[in-house]
Structure 1
Amino acid sequence: MQTMNISLPDPMKQYVEDQVMAGGYSSASEYVRDLVRADQKRQAKEELEQMLIGAINSGDPMDVTPEMIEQVRNRLRARAEQRKSVKG
């Protein structure tokens, strides 16, 4: 695992420390990792929504099945993992 140093203004640093002390996280690093994971999920969801909206707006008839949605989710998860491994 790589190390990354970040700078935060005092109020943000205190907020992170408060979250850790509140018992939800064992360290500031764990808190930041959780934030990054949540952002990756949010981005994947937005990409999926955009793909679906694009398909709907294309005018092409299309049956969207649960399997199709799961395939798209899996592709987006794979992309997120690939980005994660490239960046980290």
Structure 2
Amino acid sequence: MSNTTMSIAIPDSMRTYVAARVESGAYGNMSEYFRELVRKDQSEQAKARLRTLIEEGLSSGPAQPLTDSDNQELLGIARDEIA
């Protein structure tokens, strides 16, 4: 995985907050702080997608027995989206 530099503009109050989080030892540097924010957002988006899929499933009608083919398809989807 390669890293790319990105510049962002934030208000001084936010920069002070981030700097304090780094100085507290919670993060090694500001980049680590922002990477963690992105990872948390990615996780929240994945959870929201899963909730949506569960709601769709629950509202789709009576359950049908799963076949071996269904199980293989679901495992494939889970491995691609969760990994």
> Is TM-score (shorter-chain normalized) higher than 0.5?
yes
Instruction: Calculate percent identity across the aligned residue pairs.
Output: 36
Q: Which has the higher helix share?
A: 1
Ranges in structure 2 where 5+ consecutive residues have no aligned partner: none
TM-score by structure 2 length?
A: 0.77
> Which one has more relative contact order, counting CA pairs under 8 Å at least 6 apart?
1
Among candidates 59, 73, 77, match of residue 82 of structure 2: 77
Q: Larger radius of gyration, structure 1 or 2?
A: 2
2:55 aligned with 1:53, yes or no? yes
Q: Deviations over 1:45-76 (max 9, x none)?
A: 11011001101011141569xx89x8454332
Ranges in structure 1 where 5+ consecutive residues have no aligned partner: 79-88
Is this contact kept in 2: 1:16–1:28, CA < 8 A?
yes
TM-score by structure 1 length?
A: 0.73
In structure 2, do the counterparts of structure 1 residues 53 and 63 end up closer, same or farther at CA, with 3 Å as the change threshold? farther
